[in-house]
């Protein structure tokens, strides 16, 4: 607890999905000096704004969570934007941290940086053994450069920059916009809306054969703060749950807990993405004692419950009161 009490911490992306949980956990740990820059005030793709952020707040630590993120569709639609924004934000924030004598920089990368055909479970030493899966390679490569920068700055400047690589995140407060969301929130929304409209089927991209490992957002936030407290090496560290699940089985689980009774139509003309994703978490456990705690099915139920309660679902709530409410739509 004493680690954080006198630290000034900037959390980029601190108002977002993962960032909001990280900020809450910082406060629980006794951190009273937290700054969350907003894009309207500090556009981190602009180097001048990055300089101004360091000058204005003079942090001891930066936890860099700001990112342009999205599912396969969003990555395919805007690969240049995903590459440039993610690369330039991180590179500039790390460089300005060096210039301003920052005590520690925590860079949060992505499992998408791994090669397409990495042996499973992914081990950190395999991250340079090939090119990422094509549908999100620009995003993955942009984040991968933080590892190069961390190692180069450690060698030349003795900078303390760490890189954390979480698996696919999910949980309450996720992005449920079908244009940019990841698979779990997209499935939850599709199932609940189809149930509301009495639709007989939903369409899901790909074959369902690809596998993923998912990490509950609160577990991810906890892992990042543990690394911030205890890990001081430039080599990347995986964060994961240890559970690999196929997209087909994931769909079955979401269907079960949303109560959708219709048919699942698979669209094999759409990409599956990386064939398999699951990470070796032994480094995180040995270096800073991280172990995911949320059981996956319970996490899915929590996410569905949050979406029902918070995400413009008055229509769904009315529908569940009875047929008469539905006719008023």
**How far apart are alpha carbons 220 and 222 in whole angstroms?**
5
Residue 225 half-sphere exposure toward CB, CA atoms < 13 A = 26
- Taking alpha carbons only, the member of 112, 61, 105, 60 closest to residue 86 is 112
Residue 131 is a catalytic residue: no
What span, in angstroms and rounded, lies between the C-alpha atoms of 273 and 275? Answer: 6
Pairing label, strands 211-216, 244-246? antiparallel
- Cβ pair 264, 204 in contact under 8 A: yes
Question: Cα–Cα distance between 305 and 303 in angstroms, integer?
Answer: 5
Residue 162 CA to residue 83 CA, distance in Å, equals: 21
Radius of gyration in angstroms for the set of CA atoms belonging to the chain, rounded to a whole number: 20
DSSP state letter for 280: -
N-to-C CA span, the chain = 51
Catalytic residue (one of 42, 54, 114, 139): 139
CB count within 10 Å of CB 292 equals: 24
Please write down the HEC assignment for all residues of 255-277. Answer: HHHHCCCCEEEEECCCCCCCCCC
Residue 36 and residue 11 in contact, taking contact as beta carbons nearer than 8 Å? yes
CA dihedral 78, 132, 279, 13 (to 10 degrees): -30
> Apex CA 232: angle with CA 69 and CA 133, to 5°?
30
292 contacts: CB under 8 Å, gap ≥ 6? 215, 216, 219, 223, 239, 240, 241, 242, 281
The token duo for 69 is: 């993120």
Active site residues: 139
């Amino acid at each position: 607890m004493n680690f954080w009490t006198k630290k000034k911490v900037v959390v980029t992306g601190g108002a977002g999905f993962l960032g909001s949980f990280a900020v809450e956990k910082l406060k629980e740990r006794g951190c009273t000096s937290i700054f969350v820059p907003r894009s309207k005030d500090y556009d981190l793709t602009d180097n001048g704004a990055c300089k101004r952020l360091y000058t204005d707040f003079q942090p001891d630590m930066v936890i860099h969570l700001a990112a342009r993120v999205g599912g396969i569709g969003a990555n395919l639609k805007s690969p240049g934007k995903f590459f440039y924004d993610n690369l330039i934000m991180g590179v500039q924030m790390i460089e300005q941290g060096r210039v301003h004598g920052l005590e520690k920089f925590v860079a949060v990368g992505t499992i998408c940086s791994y090669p397409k055909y990495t042996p499973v479970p992914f081990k950190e030493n395999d991250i340079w053994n090939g090119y990422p899966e094509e549908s999100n390679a620009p995003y993955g490569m942009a984040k991968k450069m933080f590892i190069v920068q961390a190692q180069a700055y450690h060698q030349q400047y003795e900078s303390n920059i760490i890189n954390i690589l979480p698996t696919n995140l999910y949980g309450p407060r996720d992005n449920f916009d079908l244009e940019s969301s990841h698979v779990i929130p997209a499935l939850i929304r599709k199932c609940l809306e189809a149930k509301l409209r009495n639709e007989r089927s939903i369409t899901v991209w790909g074959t369902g054969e690809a596998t993923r490992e998912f990490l509950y957002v609160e577990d991810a936030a906890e892992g990042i703060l543990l690394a911030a407290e205890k890990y001081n090496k430039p080599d990347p560290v995986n964060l994961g749950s240890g559970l690999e699940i196929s997209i087909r089985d994931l769909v079955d689980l979401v269907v079960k807990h949303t109560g959708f009774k219709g048919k699942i139509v698979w669209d094999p003309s759409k990409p599956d993405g990386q064939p398999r994703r699951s990470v070796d978490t032994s480094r995180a456990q040995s270096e800073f004692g991280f172990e995911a705690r949320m059981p996956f099915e319970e996490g899915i139920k929590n996410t569905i419950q949050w979406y029902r309660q918070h995400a413009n679902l008055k229509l769904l709530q009315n529908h569940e009161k009875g047929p008469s409410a539905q006719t008023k739509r």
